[in-house]
Amino acid sequence: MRNAISKALISAQKELNKRRVATLRLMNAAINDRDIALRGKGKEKADDEEVLDILAKMVKQRDESVKMYKQAGRAELEAQELEEIVIIQEFLPKQLSQEETNKIVGELITETGAESLRDMGKIMGILKTRYRGQIDMGKAGALIKSQLTG
């Protein structure tokens, strides 16, 4: 994952693509920040799963910024954030559609025998293990709630 980001950065520098260079540098900085924090805990570097979490968090932050810029009528900043989202998402696994997520949640409810909201944690744990980075866990949680209570 780190190598792919570094190669993309070098390529963007050669192409003189300023937005892409800046975004890739931000990604590297966020990963390096996590590495430094982990060194304090006795761990060498963030693994690929942690890097995926960092990138997913960066996308969520930019989604929030897009909403705020849209409300404030700041089209140029909104466009900039949207460009950054596209660049970051190149390094994330493909997000599953709402239909695919519905199907997976339904299958997991059946598989685990979940009957009430008390079983929600069990399903969320399986989703995080099997589909890390592919499913928005906030939306999945709401979906599980609706299926278990509805």
Q: What is the CA angle 115-120-124, rounded to 5?
A: 135
Residues of the chain with CATH 1.10.10.410: 98-149
Torsional sign, CA 91, 31, 24, 14: negative
Supply the pLDDT for residue 136: 83
Q: Domain 98-149 adopts which CATH fold?
A: Arc Repressor Mutant, subunit A (1.10.10)
| pLDDT tens, position by position, 126-139 | 998 898 878 888 88
What tokens does 64 get?
A: 């929030």
Supply the pLDDT for residue 68: 97
User: Do 38 and 31 touch, CB atoms closer than 8 A?
Assistant: no
Question: Kind and range of the H or E element at 80?
Answer: helix 75-89
For the 2-89 domain, the top CATH level (class) is mainly alpha
Mean residue pLDDT across the chain: 92
Residues of the chain with CATH 1.10.1510.10: 2-89
Give the whole-number percent of the chain exceeding pLDDT 70. 99
Predicted model pTM: 0.77
Q: Which residues contact 63 (CB under 8 A, 6 or more apart)?
A: 85
Task: Please say if the pLDDT value at position 150 is more than 80.
Answer: no
Q: Which residues contact 121 (CB under 8 A, 6 or more apart)?
A: none
Phi, psi angles (nearest 5°) of residue 74: -100, 75
| pLDDT tens, position by position, 11-64 | 999 999 999 999 999 999 999 999 999 998 888 898 888 999 899 999 999 999
- Terminal-residue alpha carbon distance, the chain: 40
Q: Which residue has the tokens 């140029």?
A: 76
